[in-house]
Amino acid sequence: MTRPVIVALDLDNEKKLNELLPKLGKPENVFIKIGMELFFNEGPAIVKELSKQDYRIFLDLKMNDIPNTVYNGAKALASLGITYTTIHALGGSQMITAAKEGLIAGTPIGKNVPKLLAVTELTSISDEILHKEQNCNLSMEQQVLSLTETAKKAGADGVICSPLEVKSLRQNVGDNFLYVTPGIRPAGNDKDDQSRVATPAQAKEWGSTAIVVGRPITRATNPEAAYEAIKKEFN
């Protein structure tokens, strides 16, 4: 089975979206990540429309609120035709369970329930920030493992984590779980604002289920060629 390479569309309006999407290839061959910028500017309608066009969609809004609010939010998102969506694992087990229940309740009959991915620690978080600003005494590896175990027990389908942590997570949490990893940079690319990064080949070696890649594809001279090259390297 081909492992997905998800293109992070860090765009803030539909005009930019319509300029980029044709450069990535046929919709049925493209898996995209829509984040806060585009969703907050264009709303749910743009997600529904892209789903109708056969794009697979990872809607990355990182919900983090009281369980009832998250339940209702997830219920609404489930009707949009998305494949993945996210919450923060730091929101706790009750919130994670509520999100999963909301996705199930909101999914139209005959459609697949979106996969719920829990964000552990953002790939922009360094060990220094973890200890000095989050006041966490655990190592990054221990913290991510703890959050992953909580997420799985609470009903999440997988986690968002750094590729550097996947091997350990598979050993401790198991293979029957999704490990979706941002922070991917092909050899020779800048890290930009990421602290914990890996190449597509390293992500494959360490066991990532899917990878998320943004600027190395979207800012490439030929985005489709860059996308296909990363797919090849990851698979």
Backbone angles phi, psi at 185, to 5 degrees: -135, 115
In this structure, the dihedral spanned by the alpha carbons of residues 90, 60, 154 and 176, taken in order and rounded to 10 degrees, is: -120
Q: Would residue 62 show up in a list of annotated catalytic residues for this protein?
A: yes
The dihedral region occupied by 114, where left means phi > 0, alpha psi between -120 and 50, and beta the remainder, is beta
The C-alpha atoms of residue 78 and residue 16 are separated, in whole angstroms, by 25
Q: Decide: helix, strand or coil at residue 122.
A: coil
Amino acid identity for residue 151 in this structure: A
Question: What are 233's two structure tokens?
Answer: 């390297």
Is 21 in contact with 29 (CB distance < 8 Å)? no
List strand residue ranges (DSSP E) for 26-75, in order: 31-34, 56-63
Q: Strands 158-160 and 115-119: what pairing?
A: parallel
Catalytic residue chosen out of the listed positions 16, 23, 62, 167: 62
The C-alpha atoms of residue 29 and residue 41 are separated, in whole angstroms, by 26
The C-alpha atoms of residue 219 and residue 141 are separated, in whole angstroms, by 32
Which residues does residue 44 pair with via DSSP β-bridges, in sequence order? none
The C-alpha atoms of residue 213 and residue 217 are separated, in whole angstroms, by 7
Q: Show which residues are catalytic.
A: 62
